[in-house]
């Protein structure tokens, strides 16, 4: 059974930093693209960042480029999101998601339960 368990969320002041982790199990982690998607309270979904299976290629939304860094440790089956220079508008639930495959199936097919990040003074 595929399991994705996020951790590391919490309350942080504007300008602060936080590191999210996502522990994966139930599939061959090193074979799949992974992504972080966030959702502000009562709002829709936003793709924040993605990383290729090997970690060579990364993607960032314009809203977080230069502030967030995605990485992965395939030996530990863990995905990370380092968030620096946090802003009020980064407040959201952050989900990690496994991508199903390529082409037609290049979509998140499994999601974690999310971790809440609150940026406030």
108 lies in the site for another protein, by CB under 8 A:
yes
Among 28, 45, 54, 73, binds another protein (CB under 8 A): 45
- DSSP for 1-32, please give it: --EEEEE--EEE-TT--EEEEEEEESS-GGGS
55 lies in the site for another protein, by CB under 8 A:
no
Instruction: Report in angstroms how near the CB of residue 40 gets to another protein at its nearest.
Output: 12
CA atoms within 13 A on the CB side of 37: 18
Query: Which residues in this chain contact another protein in the complex, by CB under 8 A?
Result: 37, 44-47, 59, 61-62, 95, 100, 103-114
């Amino acid at each position: 059974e595929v399991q994705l368990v996020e951790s590391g969320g919490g309350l942080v002041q504007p300008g602060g930093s936080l590191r999210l982790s996502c522990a994966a199990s139930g599939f061959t982690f090193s074979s799949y693209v992974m992504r972080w998607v966030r959702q502000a309270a009562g709002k829709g979904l936003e793709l924040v960042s993605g990383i290729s299976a090997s970690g060579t290629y990364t993607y960032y939304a314009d809203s977080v480029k230069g502030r967030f860094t995605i990485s992965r440790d395939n030996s530990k089956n863990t995905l990370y999101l380092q968030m620096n220079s946090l802003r009020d508008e980064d407040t959201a639930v952050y989900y990690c998601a496994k991508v199903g495959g390529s082409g037609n199936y290049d979509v998140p097919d499994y999601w974690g339960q999310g971790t809440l990040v609150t940026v406030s003074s």
